Amino acid sequence: MTRKLSRRGALTTLAGGAAALPLWARYTHAQTAEPIKVGFQVHRTGIGAAYGRWYDRTTDAAVKLINEGGGINGREVAMIAEDDGTNPKRGAEVVEKFANQHGCDVAYGTLFSHVVIGSAPRAGELKLPYFVVSEGHHVASGMLNRYTLQPGITDVRSQVLAMAPFVAENLGKKVTMIFADFAFGHDHRDYFTKAIEAQGGEVLAHIAIPPNETSFTRYFPKIPRDTEVLYHVMVGPSVLTFVKELGEFFGPSAPALFGFIDSLEAVDIASPGLEFLEGTYFWEGMCRDAQPDETEDEAFYRATVGVDAHGAAVEDPQDVSTYGHMFGCWVTMHAIKAGMEAAGYRGPQDRAALIEAVEAMGDMPHSRAYPQGPMRFNGRTHQVFGQQYISRVENGRLVRVHTTAIDESLYPDEVDYTQQPL
């Protein structure tokens, strides 16, 4: 029999009533008492460790909420975490452990693009649904396979397509780009260059910096003198050093700065030496500082994960989150839940039905499950699209000054994964 996939079921969100039941009663209607096992590929070590720590915290909060609401199809969700060391080879080994050693239903969580690219082929070979929270364009480009999906966070190509008009109209058209020298940074290089050219601008120089670099001053003399906008997107444990050295190099004579929040994730924007960032602009996937018009759904997410109004852990204001990215874990876990419920998921024999259910999701309305804003999943390319935010640094806070529409981030499909066999 072919299971009929319900669009309404695919968009199912948490029902509050189940949380009132005692734990023993919440799962009594399930077909099996076995938990749904989600293999969490987490960057606990390596250059992605700061992100991994907050991806872990966000995932724990989402899973706790899902389980308090009755789990998925009446079954508890159990997370099985493995550290991939932010390493592609180790990432593939972790995916194999999830499938063959732990018996996981799905794999989930990967951020750094080179790890996704190194891991996804093995997930496809094992027919293990692989839900990534990565931003790279590798999913939507057609590079990967039907078992790899990105339903929780937008990709670089969509982000820069929506950002370029603001940069050209408000900051300048002669741009120098500084970016991390691996797949994620290359996406910025390739797609922002095209996007700013479409606005009548040009990129004067591309400056690629190795992701493990610890000092950056030697790169800055490569910036052309007639640069009007310095576009920066850096990652890893040395981002604070990067922005401090950038300020020391330019002093008060810096060109306009437009950065992706990656350059400041897990870093307090009020840190000594970052005063020069006042008045500069950042892309944010979700606004770190609570905005005056923060919705109830956003506030619920912030409180449930345990983040204060300035984007730090409520128990430690020095512990700054990776707020611009980690929401993708929350959204992805709820997308997995919605897909499994639409597919009537019972076990590994239903993995193909799960893929088809997620492909059918379409619109994902702003809600507690999707607090970043309304999103739209393209089942052909396995990529979600959503609103983008531009914030300005004002008195040490990130103040949102521009929000793009989903339609501004769309681009023609490069692949149709639904045509690939399951």
What structural domains does the chain harbor? 7-154+324-386 (3.40.50.2300), 156-293+388-409 (3.40.50.2300)
**For residue 84, pLDDT beyond 70:** yes
Would you place residue 30 in the very low, low, confident or very high pLDDT band (cuts 50, 70, 90)? low
The answer, yes or no, to whether residue 389 has pLDDT greater than 70, is yes
> Is the predicted pLDDT of residue 15 greater than 50, yes or no?
no
Q: Which residues of 244-275 are buried (b: 16+ CB within 10 A; e: fewer)?
A: bbbbebeeeebbbbbbbbbbbbbbbbebeebe
Say what percent of the chain tops pLDDT 70. Answer: 92
Average pLDDT over residues 410-416: 98
**CB 307 within 8 Å of CB 112:** no
Largest CA distance in the chain: 69
Q: Rounded to an integer, what distance in angstroms lies between the CA atom of residue 38 and that of residue 55? A: 14
Average pLDDT over residues 279-287: 97
Does the pLDDT value for residue 11 go beyond 90?
no
Cα separation, 354 vs 151, whole angstroms: 13
Give the pTM: 0.91
Mean pLDDT, to the nearest integer, of 122-146? 97
- Comparing 22 with 249, which gets the higher pLDDT? 249
Find the distance separating the first CA and the last CA of the chain, reported in whole Å: 16
pLDDT > 90: what percent of the chain? 88
Please indicate whether residue 132 or residue 28 has the higher confidence score (pLDDT).
132
Check if the beta carbon of residue 56 is closer than 8 Å to that of residue 81.
yes
In the structure, what pLDDT confidence band is assigned to residue 182 with cuts at 50, 70 and 90?
confident
pLDDT grade, residue 31 (50/70/90)?
A: low
Q: Mean pLDDT over residues 58-75, rounded? A: 98
Mean pLDDT, residues 17-43: 67
**CA separation (Å) from 190 to 91, 136, 383?**
26, 12, 18
Amino acid code (one letter) for 280: T
Least confident of 123-132, 236-245, 320-329, 387-396: 236-245
pLDDT at 17 over 80: no
